[in-house]
Amino acid sequence: MVGDKLFYKTLLKNMFSDPFKIKFWDESVEKFGEGESKFQIILNEPISKGDIINDPSITLGEAYMTKKLEIEGNVQAVIESLYNNKESFLSKSEMYEKLIKKIKSSIKRSKDNIQFHYDIGNSFYKLWLDKSMNYSCGYFKNDTDTLDEAQNNKINHILEKLNLKEGQSLLDIGCGWGELIIRAAKQYKVKGIGITLSEEQLQKANERIKAEGLENLVEVKLQDYREIKNVNFDRIVSVGMLEHVGLENLSEYFSIVNNLLKDKGLSLIHCITAVNKGGNNTWIDKYIFPGGHVPAIKNIITDIAEQEFELIDIESLRRHYGKTLERWAENFESVLPIVAKRKDEIFIRMWRLYLNSCAASFNRGNINVHQILFAKGVNNDLPWTRDYMNS
C-alpha cells in the first residue's frame, strides 16, 4: 500500500496548476501546492497502476464513474486546472490528442454509433437542453443570454450565412430534432430535407413538422448522407455532424457535398475542431461518442480546397461552446432527481464528467468549434460585406 500511495503522489502532484489535496483510502491526506487548496481528489481504493499508464483517460474516467475516485469541488474547475498545467502528461498527450483507431466507418457502423448516443431517449435530452432541443453550440450575443436565446441566435446566424431565398432547396445533414430545417421553411419558405440516423430524433422531428403544418415544405428521413442519390440542393448545412464522419471519411464527405450541391450553391459546416492534429479522447469514444473523430481545422480546409470550393467565411465559436456546456451541466444537475429515477449513479457520474470535461476543454482552448461557409464554384451573388450575417 505504501508503494501504491507513492505512485499516486508522484502521478498527481504535478498534474494540476492549483493547490489541492489527495485523500487516500486509509483516510490519510496529502497537500500539494502553495496556498489554500482549491479541491480534493479522493481515492477510495487503489486503481491499477498499469491501467493508468496504458490509458489514463479511460482508467481515471471509469474510476470516477464507479466512485473509486471522487472529486470534492467543482468538476469543471478541476479539469481546467489540469489543462492549465502544460507539464501534465494528461494535458499534453491524452485529452483530445490521442488518436483512435483508423477504422473506416461503414453506413451500418455509423448508424449504430449514432443510435448509441442519441437514442438514449428524447425524454432524457428534453430535461436539460433548450426548448427547441438544439444539441450543439449556442451563439451568445451577450454574456447574459439564456440558453434558449443563445440557441435561437445560433439558428438565425446559420440561416443568415446561408443567404436563403424563397423556393430554394436545403439539405440538413444530421438534422437532429429538426429545429433548423423547420425554421428555414417557416422563415424563408425553402423546401428542406433533413436526414438523421437516430430513430428517436426522426420521430420527434416528424411530430414537430406535422404540428407546424409544414409537411409540404419539410421532410425528415432516416438516411445516411452516403445514400442520397440523383438530387441536388441550393444549400447544404451540417451542424455537429462532421465529428461523427470519422477520419477516413472526411475527404469522401466533402466529395459527396460537391456532388449534391448545385453550381453557385452554398454549404455551411458547424463542427468541433482540433487545434493541430485530429483525434478523440479514448474515454469519450468508449462511453459517449463511439466512432467519433474531432478533425483538425487544417485538414478540413485542405479537403475544401481539394474539391475546389470557394472558401467564404470561417468563424470560431470556442467560447460560445464552453458557455453552452456550462449551461447544459447546470441544467443536468438541476434535474438529477428525475434522471435518478430512470438511470443509475454510474450513468449520472458519466454524464457529469462528460459535460464538465468538455466545458473545460473549450474554455482552455484544447479544442475549438468553427462555422465554415463555402461555395461550389464562383458565387458573385452574395452581398459585398459580412453585414448580412450579423443582424
Q: Give Cβ neighbours of residue 389 (< 8 Å, ≥ 6 apart).
A: 157, 160, 161, 313
Q: 199-212 vs 179-188: helix axis angle to the nearest 10?
A: 20
Residue count (the chain):
391
Q: Which amino acid is at 183?
A: R
Q: Is 358 a catalytic residue?
A: yes
CA dist 252 and 245 (Å) reads 9
Report angle CA 32, 34, 36 to the nearest 5 degrees: 90
Which one is catalytic: 137, 175, 271, 358? 358
Q: Which amino acid is at 51?
A: D
Task: Give the number of other Cβ atoms within 10 Å of residue 62's Cβ.
Answer: 20
Report angle CA 123, 127, 130 to the nearest 5 degrees: 115
Q: Give Cβ neighbours of residue 144 (< 8 Å, ≥ 6 apart).
A: none
Residues acting as catalytic residues: 358
